[in-house]
Structure 1
Amino acid sequence: MTFRHAPARPFPRLRALLFLALATLPGAALAQEPAQGDPSQGTGPLPANVAPNPTPICTDRPTRASVACTVPAGAFQLETDLIDWTRQTLDGVRTDTILYTNPTLKYGVGRHTDVEVNIAPYETVRTRMEDGSVTTDSGVGDLFVRVKQKLTVDRSKTQVSVIGSVKAPTAGSRVGNGQWEGNLALPVNIPLPAKFTLTTSPEVDIAANQGDVNGYHLELVNLINLSHPVGKNATVYAEFWTKESFEPRQNGQQYSADLAASYQLTKTLQLDAAAYIGLNRETPGLQLYTGLSTRF
């Protein structure tokens, strides 16, 4: 999953999550996954008689979905928003959050393992109260560190990985919530007929309580994502995302419909854009962003 801010913290019903979990049933193989033994995957120096031929970049952008593939061993990969804007209106209070870039740097530490670090170097949170008064907070974002481990072999039809993530509260309580948090996700990628790919990513978050209630609570997240190539270099995505919070005093639900597109300029350079559309009052009404990914 790409690290992405969601200004509100509520979530979906368990029956919706059970429905989404059905999507994890086995299917077929992720098109971007390299064949076993491909020397371009960073498993060692290329033989003298093999010309360099990098595999296409495989990213966790541009939707909320994560993919099972990892960065080739010894390679770096940068995935970043160039600009990211979110608006939420709740009980007469309107909040606009802008991230001025949001880079995630990945490094392949093994054939099927990578480590990832994400932090927004500068963001602003502008809040307009019901009486018309406005406050603006700004600063560095929170720091996220995660490890992705692919669980399936290269030739497996369904591709699965596990991702563990920890958030350090570098944003403090002005831009963030000032709390340590973490999550565990299980991305599953299943190719379907007619060149469609289905992705689902059940996730469990440990999130800090809001307001004056100390402690932590569980949040359950899932999604269904369908992608399809358009021409040789473009891909379009449609996604339904859900989240349920078991927070004391106020369990909450969030739902969104997400649309995105990506275009590969080269095998190792991708451009993208996305829109997340909130489907209930607890979900940010609209989030728009554009970005790029490159491997080096």
Structure 2
Amino acid sequence: MKRIVASLMLFAGSPALSEELKLRELCSERPGLNTPACTVDPGHLQIELGLGDWTMNRQSDQREDRIETGQMLLRYGVGATTEVRFGWTAYGHVRNRDRDTGEIDRSGGIGDVTLSLKQNLRHPAEGRTGLAIALLPYATLPAGRKDVGDGDWGGGLIVPASYKFDDTVSLEFSPEVQAAVNESGSGRHFAYGSAMGVQVHLNEHMRLTPELQFVRDNDPEHHVTMSNAALSFDVQPAKMTQLDVQAVAGLNRNTPDVELSFGVTHKF
């Protein structure tokens, strides 16, 4: 009996098992244009909530202001390297003003639903140096109201990748291909692009991340290239809680002029 107990204690204290049972560092997909390769621990739920998001897009004939709140992403770890995900926007409000006549149109309601799965291929835990990579296929379901949602189903594949040099600096990449919904709200077209950025740990609890993003969108009505520059900041007031803010600027006429957002993440 003593030998059995001793064997169990030795097994429980083995480095491999201790690493598996150890709670991983918080790894939020907020904020930022990139998607991290890390996954949530098995049996744990992570909630990422966008508390407020404002986007302003000025064109020659109109100005659009979009406000969204309750942008929710639920991530649940189902394996050592796998998580399932559910995304939804609780409310969106769109205001369009004709710049010639001054006429204003307003619409609002719930947003679309996104279902996805992230499968990590290397380094599922945040914080490890070296290369981390994952696959993230997703599908968007047309649950949203007109102008707030896309109007039809869509989907795509993101390949999150990063390279962490040390505890201070890491590079991030997120190439993506999409079956994007047509601007008309019916049917799909091909779109592709990538985000890239540098994540800088200012200290143990704060990070600053400058990023760029380029997307080629082959909508039947017009083929355009969109480009963004972003700067985000996040802080962890507690081990499993994060607060964040982000500012995004459009770099050409095909991209919304500015987007400001803030939110919170917590892992249970």
Q: TM-score, normalised by structure 1?
A: 0.80
- Structure 2 residue corresponding to 1:197, chosen from 146, 170, 176: 170
Residue 150 of structure 1 is matched in structure 2 by 120
Alpha-carbon distance in 2 for matches of 1:128, 1:295? 40
- RMSD (CA atoms): 1.9
Alpha-carbon distance in 1 for matches of 2:221, 2:104? 28
Which structure: greater strand fraction? 2
- Shift in CA distance, 100/66, structure 1 to aligned 2, threshold 3 Å: same
- Structure 1 residue corresponding to 2:36, chosen from 56, 63, 67: 67
8 Å contact kept, 1:236–1:262:
yes
1:105 aligned counterpart, secondary structure: strand
Correspondence 1:137 to 2:104: no
Task: Give the deviation of 1:122 after TM superposition.
Answer: 1.0
Alpha-carbon distance in 2 for matches of 1:137, 1:39? 52
Residue 81 of structure 1 is matched in structure 2 by 50
8 Å contact kept, 2:130–2:165:
no
2:255 aligned counterpart, secondary structure: coil
Letter in 2 for 1:197: S
Task: Give the deviation of 1:56 after TM superposition.
Answer: 2.1
User: CA offsets per residue over residues 67-86 of structure 1, 9 Å max, x none?
Assistant: 11100000000011111111
User: CA offsets per residue over residues 60-115 of structure 1, 9 Å max, x none?
Assistant: 11001111110000000001111111100112211111112211111101010001
Alpha-carbon distance in 2 for matches of 1:83, 1:255? 22
Alpha-carbon distance in 1 for matches of 2:95, 2:213? 25
Task: Give the deviation of 1:211 after TM superposition.
Answer: 3.1
Residue 162 of structure 1 is matched in structure 2 by 135
Alpha-carbon distance in 2 for matches of 1:118, 1:248? 27
Task: Give the deviation of 1:267 after TM superposition.
Answer: 1.4
- Shift in CA distance, 194/97, structure 1 to aligned 2, threshold 3 Å: same
Task: Give the deviation of 1:191 after TM superposition.
Answer: 1.4
Correspondence 1:175 to 2:144: no
Alpha-carbon distance in 2 for matches of 1:191, 1:150? 16
Task: Give the deviation of 1:40 after TM superposition.
Answer: 6.5
Correspondence 1:288 to 2:267: no
Alpha-carbon distance in 1 for matches of 2:34, 2:208? 13
Residue 209 of structure 2 is matched in structure 1 by 237
1:85 aligned counterpart, secondary structure: strand
Alpha-carbon distance in 2 for matches of 1:254, 1:128? 22
Residue 191 of structure 2 is matched in structure 1 by 219
Q: TM-score, normalised by structure 2?
A: 0.88
8 Å contact kept, 2:191–2:216:
yes
Letter in 1 for 2:69: Y
Letter in 2 for 1:287: E
Q: Which consecutive residues of structure 1, in runs of 5 or more, have no partner in the other structure?
A: 1-35, 47-52
Residue 83 of structure 2 is matched in structure 1 by 114
Task: Give the deviation of 1:156 after TM superposition.
Answer: 7.8
Alpha-carbon distance in 1 for matches of 2:48, 2:140? 18
1:293 aligned counterpart, secondary structure: strand
- Structure 1 residue corresponding to 2:16, chosen from 37, 43, 61: 37
Task: Give the deviation of 1:173 after TM superposition.
Answer: 2.8
Alpha-carbon distance in 1 for matches of 2:264, 2:171? 22
Superposition pairs of residues 260-271 of structure 1, within 5 angstroms: 260-271=232-243
Higher mean alpha-carbon deviation, 247-256 vs 258-267, is at 247-256
Task: Give the deviation of 1:208 after TM superposition.
Answer: 2.1
Alpha-carbon distance in 1 for matches of 2:150, 2:43? 35
Q: Which consecutive residues of structure 2, in runs of 5 or more, have no partner in the other structure?
A: 1-14
Residue 3 of structure 2 is matched in structure 1 by none
Structure 1 runs of 4+ with >6 Å offset: none
Pick 1 or 2: higher relative contact order, CA cutoff 8 A, min separation 6: 1
Task: Give the deviation of 1:38 after TM superposition.
Answer: 6.1
Task: Give the deviation of 1:246 after TM superposition.
Answer: 1.8
Letter in 1 for 2:197: N
Letter in 2 for 1:161: A
Q: Higher Cα Rg: structure 1 or 2?
A: 2
2:78 aligned counterpart, secondary structure: strand
What is the number of equivalent residue pairs in this alignment? 250
8 Å contact kept, 1:77–1:105:
yes
